[in-house]
Amino acid sequence: MDQTLKTLLFDTVKPNHLKEVECLMGYIKAGSPCGEPLFLSLGETWEHTPDTLTGFLGETPKYTHGYQLSMYGLPALRTVLGKYVAKDYGLAVPIRQGKEFEIAVTWTGTRNAMYDYGRLLRDQYFGTQPPQIITTAPGWDYPGVFEPLGYKTQYINLPKEKNFTPNIEAFKEVILGSKGQKALLVINAQHNPTSINWSEALVRGIIRLALEHSLAILIDDAHYGVCNPGVKPTASLKILLEELPSYPDYKAPWLLVRSLGKQFSINGWGSGLLLSDPTVLDMLVNSYRTQHIYNYGGML
């Protein structure tokens, strides 16, 4: 069996209680009857982190090993990310940060940031109304993040008979069926786990629905940089920024999270970016995140 799996799975305690890990351990203990497992669960291969990238760790300034003063992350990295986002998403250059939106660096992964965003929405947006999240099935584990906060999940089913391709009518049905209730709509255009890249027309239609019905928005671009060869990823952020001026009455919060872990095979570094309206981002990183964690990992 692969030595990495031996190292990470077999200990004096259970590694975790995830069903896929339980199945994997059972399979290995049964003698791997269909051959050695290729462990791809949780997005991991463990073998492709660039040597040059890991080599930089020994060259980082000593101050990056301490807590960081800014909850937005190191200024140099924010500057680089601002330029990178503008180029990668095809935005106008230079980005007018501080007006339409601001950028922050994640330091414990985007899942934690989503959890804090869910708390912010629950406190600042939903009020006494029970919070809802609208997402797709199949889909990533958004319920695992938001349901512990009291959210009720509304699913938009992606039919396997149609290659899991979303339909705008399905989004309309669920959104209109909410009868004007406030909700958080997830846009995962480079879709996990089906790997379907949602079309620009579809994403624009979804965003218009969200803006028309004052839905809070979460854009999850974890796989934006890892599409299949020949596929141009749909830039949900660009579409949102194009559409926002046409909806001056839209006051709901919106947030983009983008993990860099998949793109650079560094999931364990927790590196990525957050992007939102400056007021929302300030509350998120300087109020909600500081309640349970300081900004660390500057060397990463």
The CA dihedral of 49, 229, 94, 63, to the nearest 10 degrees, is 0
Higher pLDDT, 41 or 185: 185
Which residues on neighbouring strands pair with residue 156, listed in sequence order? 136
Give pLDDT, residue 99: 66
Q: Average pLDDT, whole number, for the chain?
A: 90
User: What does 249-292 look like in DSSP terms, one character per residue?
Assistant: T----EEEEEESHHHHT-GGGT-EEEEE-HHHHHHIIIIIGGGT
Mean pLDDT of 84-101: 74
Give pLDDT, residue 24: 83
Give pLDDT, residue 119: 97
Count of CB atoms situated within 10 Å of the CB of 240 = 22
Whether pLDDT at 94 is above 70: no
Whether pLDDT at 97 is above 60: no
Mean pLDDT of 82-86: 91
Give pLDDT, residue 2: 67
Which range among 6-10, 38-42, 67-71 has the greatest average pLDDT?
A: 67-71
Give pLDDT, residue 41: 55
Mean pLDDT of 235-256: 95
pLDDT confidence tier of residue 189, bands split at 50, 70 and 90: very high
The closest alpha carbon to 20, from 53, 43, 42, belongs to 42
